[in-house]
Chain A
């Protein structure tokens, strides 16, 4: 009885250990723009980058949307190739999914982080719950 319990606990421990190790090797980080200064990120590594869209920075270039995001300290230029969510606008918090190409960040997926204040198309503001995507 005790021996069996020991084996089971050992097994569970092993699984927990192994999966934690594998999990920590497969994490996708959310970086803020300043954090990218401190950490070395290679050009191939896919990361999630969060920040606020800078005022007057949005331009269109064919199918690409170019803009700059910031967290107050560091600005990063974004080349976005993909669907722009309707809500996307200046000063809005976004999380982008993509890779660095030197100083440019090439993103193909965007999550618009909206707070509780949602400005509707006719300019009125009302509360909505915080959706995640």
Chain B
């Protein structure tokens, strides 16, 4: 039932999109975009219903859900594996297409909707022709489904027990929210791409491409920020390896569009004010979109070794074709506008607004490039030397770390940038009190901490930035005629400054040790004592949890081992985290033997500060909500 309906409605949605691509009537465009949105919502709900009804005649449900899976994770199973995640991708695309039509449509042409529907056709086509979450099961495996069909009205087989989602995905509720957030961010990068390419296709059209592109970049940027933050938080709070970012290929490919989008959000502003960098902005818009496709290609095709990698399928080739088509479209439209791009004005004041923004762009773009090279390097290495390697995280730490520091310094000057060159002398006199104060705070902090050259500079820079931004906000936030995007920027900068303070503390100050201990014993760590109780075993339908209560003077927390049934993966060790503003005591079990345990105890500095910083950056949208006066 679900299988037939799902496949038929996917076809229907595909045909609607084809019709939308060719139609000329304005009325039909408006109608068909809505019909397609409705169909995609329907498909989404259909698969959810199937998941909750345990309809194991659908191959996807049999393989990625189980009767014993708790409801929340059943719901999240929809995007728990490749085929389902493409369904969510399609839904996001359809929603964005509708929003685009409603708010940003070009007045006198359907070209933008044509490009948009073309991109949507590409992704919906994948579920129609290649691999669909609605595929019916025609050959059973011992558990789950072995072979499936995309042709409707076949005799399907029903397994009586599902395999259940990947254990990693059912260990914490954050995992249910993090992927959709990232998807919205990823898919949203289509908006500026469509806005720019369609508006530049014929140059008689409006000059507002940069405005629309900038506005439409902000939303996906925000969701990417939130998505990446949630991913890092989940990794830290749940996976128990004590870190939050591993420079894993999948993390990298979500970071690349973020860096590019951040660069674009800055450079678009100088194009708006002084008509410079036209060509550069066009390139950024294109790269933002293409990098999301590239990211999906890398993570979904199994070409790289990664914790996140899904199964190998034919999606690799499919996405590679898409990447080529979209790149060609992008280059073609770009080449039509060479004359327009050459109107781009020169940058006059290298120490004024535009100069700083160009520097910012150079750094963000270079970081994106560096991360990109690090991600694909193992691929090239393997093709040339026929040997598998991974890149150590030192590579990223060496290059990307200092870039963050330079960005921090640039941000300090962003508070009061004018078109004219900045006068450093008067700037120093104006802010001398704050500069001295922040240096004093930095020095005070450093007396109590391990000394490190990099730490001193970063701490000082971020404290200056925090103080200056707050002072500036207190002083000027009431002035109503200040541009609201200015305040968005300032809040985001404040967040990054707080984040930088946290991350530098974390990187330079954290340490860990191993403790061997028995039940009902006490150990000392970082001047406080921790008491270990006896472990408790808890049996749930989908997993067994071994919990070990540990308490300090104030509270009791559990560190646990989660062992999943039917799972081919190793146990997941979840930490007990004793939190405070400056540092977390982070305890995980490494080994259990009867009532003796080996614990890894970490003292992680700055984690909460990092989360606060990222949270501040994430709420930077608030000034944008205010209606322009």
Contact = CB atoms under 8 A, between A and B. Distances in A.
B570 A83 contact: yes
A19 B399 contact: yes
B516 to A, nearest CB: 9
A125 B142 contact: yes
Contacts of A129: 310-312
Interface stretch (B39-47, B389-397, B601-609): B389-397
A63 B590 CA distance: 10
Interface in B548-572: 563, 566-571
B143 interface: yes
Nearest to B378: A27
B369 A29 contact: no
B271 to A, nearest CB: 15
Interface stretch (A9-17, A66-74, A98-106): A9-17
A16 B373 contact: yes
Contact of B571 (A1, A86, A118, A125): A86
A86 B570 contact: yes
B369 A130 contact: no
A28 B366 CA distance: 24
Interface in B365-393: 366, 369-370, 373-374, 377-378, 381, 387-392
Contact of B366 (A15, A29, A118, A127): A15
Contacts of A12: 369
Contact of B392 (A1, A26, A63): A26
A23 B377 contact: yes
A63 to B, nearest CB: 5
Contacts of B484: none
Contacts of A41: none
A124 interface: yes
Interface residues on A, range: 35 or more
B309 interface: yes
Contacts of B84: none
Contacts of B591: 63, 82-83
B305 A132 contact: yes
Interface residues of B, number: 47
Contacts of B342: 1
B307 interface: yes
A27 B389 contact: yes
A54 interface: no
Contact of A28 (B143, B390, B398, B598): B390
A130 B309 CA distance: 9
B141 A126 contact: yes
B570 A85 contact: yes
A12 B373 CA distance: 11
A56 interface: no
Nearest to A30: B388
B388 A83 contact: no
A63 B593 contact: yes
Contacts of B166: 131
Given A23-B395, A112-B570, 20 more contacts: A1-B342, A15-B369, A19-B373, A19-B399, A20-B373, A23-B391, A24-B377, A28-B391, A29-B388, A30-B390, A48-B390, A63-B591, A63-B593, A83-B571, A83-B590, A87-B569, A126-B141, A129-B310, A130-B311, A132-B307
27 contacts: A1-B342, A11-B366, A15-B373, A20-B377, A24-B377, A25-B395, A26-B394, A27-B378, A27-B392, A29-B389, A82-B590, A82-B591, A83-B571, A85-B569, A125-B142, A126-B142, A128-B163, A128-B568, A129-B311, A129-B312, A130-B302, A130-B311, A131-B166, A131-B568, A132-B306, A132-B309, A133-B569
